[in-house]
Amino acid sequence: MQRKVNVVGAGNAGLMAAKTIARYGIDVTIYDQKQKPGYPIRASGIVSANGLSRLGVNCSKALTNSLSGARIHAGNSVLEVKAKAPVAKVLDRGILNEICMDEAASEGVSIITGRKLSASELMAISKNDIIIGADGAVSEVATTFRMGAVKRYVLTYRVEYNTEPQDTESVDIYLDNSISPGLFSWVCPNGKDVLEVGVGVSSLHGNSKRAFDRFISHYGITEIISGAKIISEGASIIPIGLRQKIADDKNHVLLAGDAAGQTKASTGGGIVFGSQGGIMAGEAVADHMIHGSRLSSYESRFRRKNRMDLAMHSMISRAYRSLSEREMGMVIRMLNKAGAGRILGDYGDMDRPTEIIKRFILRRKIVA
């Protein structure tokens, strides 16, 4: 009897995994505890234009803004990155999820919403069938099958205001370990009349709402948002660093997306990275069902493909987490002197720092 494939969690990672499997003509069912997966919206939707094109999802209906620049603030200094054309897209996360659900359904995926799978159900399913755990940062699948821990967690608080951003083309990032240790704070124009403000702090340093209040008062954001209507607000969590184990041959379990810790350590971004993880998990399951290959080939392939970029994101994150505000200001001034703003603007693919370095080296060789 052919094994069934069950995906737990209809976020972007689970939907990409299920869609990939269905394309091989294999029956796959995806479960989500929410009646309407993707809502309420708890996360931002900034993705690199390159990364988005790699996913092959038509996101035009979810697009709320295009960004061509970023200002990175640290200790009274600012690094301005400006590209000639938009390099990042801002997506409405709810609509993005709806698009991914429609695409999965049209490939033949069975989608069951409003259904939470418990630990005992997961254990029972794994006796005969395959499970892909794409059930987010606090993954029941990972806990049930003892897949180890992710490296660390970042707690977030974000608010969307109905107000006209002063600059609709650039996002502002604030590196300040006295306010947002572990990540950063941000102000992003989500559209022509929507401004998003958010903070991320290491879970070791506690309360993200308190950090948010300190951020908006310290950096004068309170005046910018004064009187503006709140569209959405809330706290959430981002896992950082790959989980110890993301595939288990014995129990036929794979993890993808936040459940696997597939986010970039430097920014916490997981839409592109986690979706790619979902696609790779889906391919490994199809390969297993069709050719009998080991499910754990997914883990080795994922680690091999992303080794360099994962290491670079960790290095960048470690650097800004360990520096004081004054030291970070010095680094920004040095980067400004070296013309980093222009180089990042020309070559910046925020998902693949190794590509930026390759292109930078190539450019130096050509100039030399």
Angle between helices 340-347 and 325-337 (to 10 degrees): 70
When binding is defined by CB under 6 A, the residue of 17, 21, 79, 134 that contacts ligand FAD is: 134
Cα 260 to the center of its chain, rounded Å? 12
Q: Shortest CA distance to 176 belongs to which of 310, 332, 320, 61?
A: 320
The interface with ligand FAD within residues 336-355 (CB under 6 A) comprises none
263 is an interface residue for ligand FAD by CB under 6 A: yes
Instruction: Map the footprint of ligand FAD across residues 151-190, applying CB under 6 A.
Output: 156, 158
How many helices (H) and strands (E) are present in the chain, helices listed first? 12, 16
Of positions 4, 23, 27, 33, contacts ligand FAD by CB under 6 A: 33
CB of 3 to ligand FAD, least distance (A): 20
How many residues touch ligand FAD under the rule CB under 6 A: the total is: 39
Residue length, the chain?
368
241 binds ligand FAD (CB under 6 A): no
> Does 8 contact ligand FAD by CB under 6 A?
yes
According to CB under 6 A, which one of 75, 198, 241, 348 is a site residue for ligand FAD? 198
CB of 327 to ligand FAD, least distance (A): 26
* 43 touching ligand FAD, by CB under 6 A: yes
- Judged by CB, which is closer to ligand FAD: 51, or 329? 51
- What whole-number distance in Å separates Cα of residue 35 and Cα of residue 139? 18
By CB under 6 A, is residue 269 in contact with ligand FAD?
A: yes
Q: Which of 18, 19, 22, 44 binds ligand FAD (CB under 6 A)?
A: 44
Maximum C-alpha span of the chain: 65
Q: Is 77 helix (H, G, I), strand (E, B) or coil?
A: strand
How far the first Cα of the chain sits from its last, in Å, is 64
**CB-count burial class (<10 Å; 0-12, 13-18, 19+) for 197:** buried
Which of 103, 135, 299, 349 touches ligand FAD (CB under 6 A)?
Answer: 135
201 backbone dihedrals φ, ψ, rounded to 5°: -130, 145
| Residue 165, preceding peptide bond in cis (omega within 30° of 0) | no
Please state the closest distance from residue 60 (CB atom) to ligand FAD, in A: 18
3-class secondary structure, 24:
coil
Task: Give, in degrees to the nearest 5, the angle at Cα 262 between 23 and 178.
Answer: 150
Stretch that binds ligand FAD, among 60-68, 69-77, 161-169, 257-265 (CB under 6 A): 257-265
Beta bridge partners of 186: 173, 198
CB of 265 to ligand FAD, least distance (A): 12
Among 3, 4, 23, 34, binds ligand FAD (CB under 6 A): 34
| Chain contacts with ligand FAD (rule: CB under 6 A) | 8-14, 31-34, 37, 42-47, 116-117, 134-136, 140, 156, 158, 198, 236, 238, 257-259, 263, 268-272, 274
